Structure 1
């Protein structure tokens, strides 16, 4: 074994720091969900404001991932990971101190930049430090960190919000970030690719504008109107800048922010689409499940977060199982199967009604949790495995970009769908027609945000009818939104089954594939299962 391939004593410290950073940044995607009612009340924010608390973070996380991967390959992965953790930590402190919804969203965007750096660089650091069977172990831990963070977010957020304040969901990052940066500086070794190309700033700017316009238009459309000049103009701008971005990338070739050569690999296209579409269904479901528990069943932040423990446990167990199956089961079975299980679980959310007991969510939490948990380590390993080690940072960044685009557009799109359904259902109700268009529309905005008390206070003599109609409209929209999330999961599963091939992996990743599997990842007919090569 060559010196550069020899196991490093620092590799376990690297795994610990990467897992911790990944846990923290993914936690900040889900921890906010349970605190939204408190944020809404504290900052007097609208439904669109609440969406931006999610999307400002997911948006910059998506935009800067590829650039971060490219910079890390050239400047040093440890160095940039440390910078990302510092940005994330300082922005977390600013989020906790925010005085209004606009400031909170702005600081969340900065926080997303730091998260993007960590999320893009982390898997590349693991790929550099771990090889062979140990790499599967490392990505099992990495995937578990992602899964537990998403699942435990509501519980941690509920605990901090109920016992202290919603601001502590951000303050908690500060001491953890300081400790992680100090340990990383002392214990993690550097790695880089001296042949990496300079950052593609033109591509970064055009991609940022295209994605930002897309998400902004989707979030604003329910209020502006889907066919309004502003909405259509933003969608048109998004399309134009996307075309310009692709033109720039094609001209730059290997120097591009997104190396289009990756997209000649069918499996790379497949895993990118699965990551994007699957996450577009998964993360919004957590957002709306939390909303159901608090706004329909009247739970506080702690009680709502506690109800997500079955999801946490399912994701943790499935993450360990899924990571252990990497290299033993074809990737298309692992990823296609995990997203299929997730989609089936999300369909069970349609069992929930206005007056259900919270246990009606258990089938969905457990089944979808198993799917989400098994998905994470497999996706991370496959995203790295399709590229040569020197380009692992860029490959990881591209895949994480697709994943976060899915989160950002999923929250915006499913949220817009939900808000439209609430408005339509409430306007069609007897009390909605009695109130008139303007008053019904204003009430629907409050119902979407869960502000039932405020809506009732403005309803006068119609208070009881408005609340009853609002709760019915909320549940109808909830069922529709969760069905949409499940459909996205089924689409992701179909893509996974049809497009992923083991033979598209780079040779460096094939060391984790046992000799009794052929290049397609199927059992070789001439070798008994488990036989030595």
Structure 2
């Protein structure tokens, strides 16, 4: 228990919070039917969680350094459990979206404290083993999400994808309080409250603008207002971060090309690799007639490829500069998305397999090295900030991708269907439209929409991949070793990585 107890406690929380990023993907059609939800409602079901997690991650990490990491972690698990219960009993889309956002708040407190808690307990070789197990659990959560979501949705119902968190949360709280010691950051550090508020408001405004654009248009007044507010909030955040003594994110780091490239890669990675999955799942179930389980199993090709490439690549690519693995991985993701951009009315799920394998291979290259590359691109005293920033940008990229890709999907469908019908189809209402438009028209419209989203995702990944290859520095050793080796016997200092 002394050796594995703290690691088990932290990994339970990590598994839950990352599982909930993808577990709802295959349940979206059932949610739409059960709650009479629209396309924008479904976008916010996914984005409410991812956005809260991204917007509050940096602030939660800074608060935990002051208030206590174990205390913050436990509070996050409790809040996550309460929010999961509220998700399960939701009576309408508004209640579900609010509960998902509350889940994201709890998840931010959990995620921000995982690595600091592990670093405060483990030393030397044990720390390396603990980080390896934690990384494996993180990858498994994203891979298992669609399959577990399909099993629960097909069995007891979609509400159980949230109820399943309750017993795990109880175990995580009990174990954390029993075996994980309290720890804090350096004394005298002040919480950057204005920066935390401004960044959260910026993330919310830009995501809201992207979602609104899908239903009202990019040039509509409310959409432009949202994007204008986002620009002002971002400018305010930058101004605050340049003045405060303990910034959430030192914006001067973006003067380093390597840091900028890695943050761009993080922003593009999760969105390009996983942002289309929600809409592909709706296509598989509502147009191809697959069950939630079969729809979830389609994405296993991506998970298997990612696991195999990460496992084998870790050995074969040892010593290869991170810019080649990350940049090359993003280009593979781009190639995979482009491969999935040739659907038509007669396409089946098998048409996705080559593209999913390529996206999975790219994911297997990017995931192991991106956090280490971020840490290696900054001075040691900024390593914790870089670790938090890369996870923040990854989640923000996913939230933005859900919003933007949904807008692209519905907009392309309007080439075939009226505005209202295209949004209804994208939201999973194919059964209600068949009599009016016919199966062939609906399949054609959805296939065209998915093709457009895949091209968009592929282009995002390609641009980011080229930027990483052009800007990021290449070292001879893997970035994780370059960062952790100097401090492996000294415990977790203020400069140690924090998600």
**TM-score, with structure 2 as normaliser:** 0.90
Q: Which residue of 2 aligns with 1:67?
A: 59
3-state SS, counterpart of residue 336 of structure 1: helix
Q: Distance in 1 between matches of 2:21 and 2:404?
A: 17
CA separation of 1:263 and 1:191: change in aligned 2, threshold 3 A: farther
3-state SS, counterpart of residue 181 of structure 2: coil
Which residue, out of 389, 394, 397, partners 2:385? 394
Q: Which residue of 1 aligns with 2:433?
A: 455
Which residue, out of 107, 131, 141, partners 1:115? 107
Q: Which residue of 1 aligns with 2:468?
A: 496
- Work out whether 1:219 is the aligned partner of 2:211: yes
Query: Following superposition of structure 1 onto structure 2, how do residues 190-201 of structure 1 map, counting pairs within 5 Å?
Result: 190-195=182-187, 197-201=189-193
For structure 1, list consecutive stretches of 5 or more residues without a partner in the other structure: 1-8, 428-439, 514-533
1:81-123 superposed Cα distances (whole Å, 9 cap, x missing partner):
2222221121111111111000100010010011112222223
1:37-90 superposed Cα distances (whole Å, 9 cap, x missing partner):
000000000000000000111111111010011122233323322222221121
Q: Distance in 1 between matches of 2:262 and 2:117?
A: 20
- Work out whether 1:511 is the aligned partner of 2:491: no
Give the stretch that moved more between structures: 292-301 or 393-402: 393-402
Q: Which residue of 2 aligns with 1:260?
A: 251
Query: Cα offset for 1:209?
Result: 1.7
Q: Distance in 1 between matches of 2:2 and 2:384?
A: 19
Q: Which residue of 2 aligns with 1:269?
A: 260
Q: Which residue of 2 aligns with 1:16?
A: 8
Query: Cα offset for 1:355?
Result: 2.4
- Work out whether 1:408 is the aligned partner of 2:399: yes
**TM-score, with structure 1 as normaliser:** 0.84
3-state SS, counterpart of residue 255 of structure 1: coil
1:313-339 superposed Cα distances (whole Å, 9 cap, x missing partner):
222223334555786332112212222
Q: Distance in 1 between matches of 2:230 and 2:299?
A: 36
Q: Which residue of 1 aligns with 2:344?
A: 353
CA contact (8 A) 2:154 2:291 kept: yes
For structure 2, list consecutive stretches of 5 or more residues without a partner in the other structure: 488-499
CA contact (8 A) 2:338 2:455 kept: yes
3-state SS, counterpart of residue 185 of structure 2: coil
CA separation of 1:419 and 1:512: change in aligned 2, threshold 3 A: farther
Query: Cα offset for 1:398?
Result: 1.6
Q: Which residue of 1 aligns with 2:96?
A: 104
Q: Which residue of 2 aligns with 1:206?
A: 198
Q: Distance in 2 between matches of 1:330 and 1:196?
A: 37
Which structure has the larger Rg over C-alpha atoms?
1
CA contact (8 A) 1:143 1:323 kept: no
Query: Following superposition of structure 1 onto structure 2, how do residues 115-514 of structure 1 map, counting pairs within 5 Å?
Result: 115-129=107-121, 137-195=129-187, 197-252=189-244, 254-322=245-313, 328-386=319-377, 392-423=383-414, 425-427=415-417, 440-457=418-435, 459=436, 463-464=437-438, 467-501=439-473, 509=483, 511=485
1:163-193 superposed Cα distances (whole Å, 9 cap, x missing partner):
1010000000110111012112222233322
How many residues are matched?
485
CA separation of 1:506 and 1:482: change in aligned 2, threshold 3 A: closer
Query: Cα offset for 1:289?
Result: 2.5
CA contact (8 A) 1:72 1:121 kept: yes
**TM-align CA RMSD:** 2.6
1:351-388 superposed Cα distances (whole Å, 9 cap, x missing partner):
43332332222212222112213322222333345567
Give the stretch that moved more between structures: 392-401 or 329-338: 392-401
CA contact (8 A) 2:336 2:357 kept: yes
CA contact (8 A) 1:326 1:378 kept: no
